[in-house]
Structure 1
Amino acid sequence: MRSKFHLGGALKACVIAAVVFLMAEMAMVALIEGESPFGPPRMMAAIVMGRDVLPPPATFDLGIMMVAMMVHLALSVVLGIIWGLIHSTLGLSRWVAVGIAAVFGLLVYAVNFYGFTALFPWFEMARGTVSAVGHAIFGVALGWAYGAYVCETDEALA
């Protein structure tokens, strides 16, 4: 059953998912791959700042982190709206939505790391399990947060 699209829910969910993703991705890169956790944000910032911000060294730089967050949040807003439209069109239950959102995250991974490498070739070096799992985590967080907002809003209206 179709449900109403909630722009506010999509925006809140995408911010939650963006933060969860970035924390998970940075932690997994450091703990599993033994690399600098600042590599992924530098790859995001390079979308607008160019290759010069790519590691090495993958150290903390406030300016690069700010640009990375702006890029990441902007892309997350687009993805949050797309997810909200998918969710409302399909009328998903909360837990089914979380599972489908994990697949959505994996599709985003495939598009980013296989489709956009022509424009951003440095994404190719980040292909792998950690990035795929990070994107699945993004999807789970997005699906859970949007579903929670929809349930809360619908219950308040009932």
Structure 2
Amino acid sequence: MLEVPEIDEEIYKQLSHLDLAQCARVCQKWHRSVIPHLWHSLIVPTNHPEDYLFEHRETFRNMALEDYLYEQQLHLPQLSPFMPPLVKYGHWIRQLPQPESLLKYLESPYDSIRSQEAPTKQDNEVTAPQLLRHIYKRCPNLQVHSLDVTEYYPFGDISKTIA
């Protein structure tokens, strides 16, 4: 934006995610300077988190699932030239919502229906804890205090991914 990076930093701190996204689309130079700030944190708004979750749950799950499947296909010769967002920008992420919020985002919309039926989980179906583990793997610069998700899901292997 400006020729002085320190001033840019202060300006970016004052902008909303929507404003940062609009700045990133101006030109390649702005895109390169804004992207680290745009991807710094993935935070759920506090005013109406249920509404936000309902509106964006499928999009967030699809982003994580697309990246998960992309990683599974890295050995294939016909790999798509387009990299998923977490591959390109995951290293910029420093803050994520609490694990329980992320797990709600990552659950399949059909999980609540299946939980009322007899348990017939398919072997090839990706679970919310697997996607959460994958997201943490894509965010090597994550600044986190605690990753104890065992009270929400009895999978102790999620924190092993970070170590």
What TM-score do the two structures reach when normalised by structure 1? 0.27
RCO (CA 8 Å, sep 6+): is it higher in 1 or 2? 1
Larger radius of gyration: 2
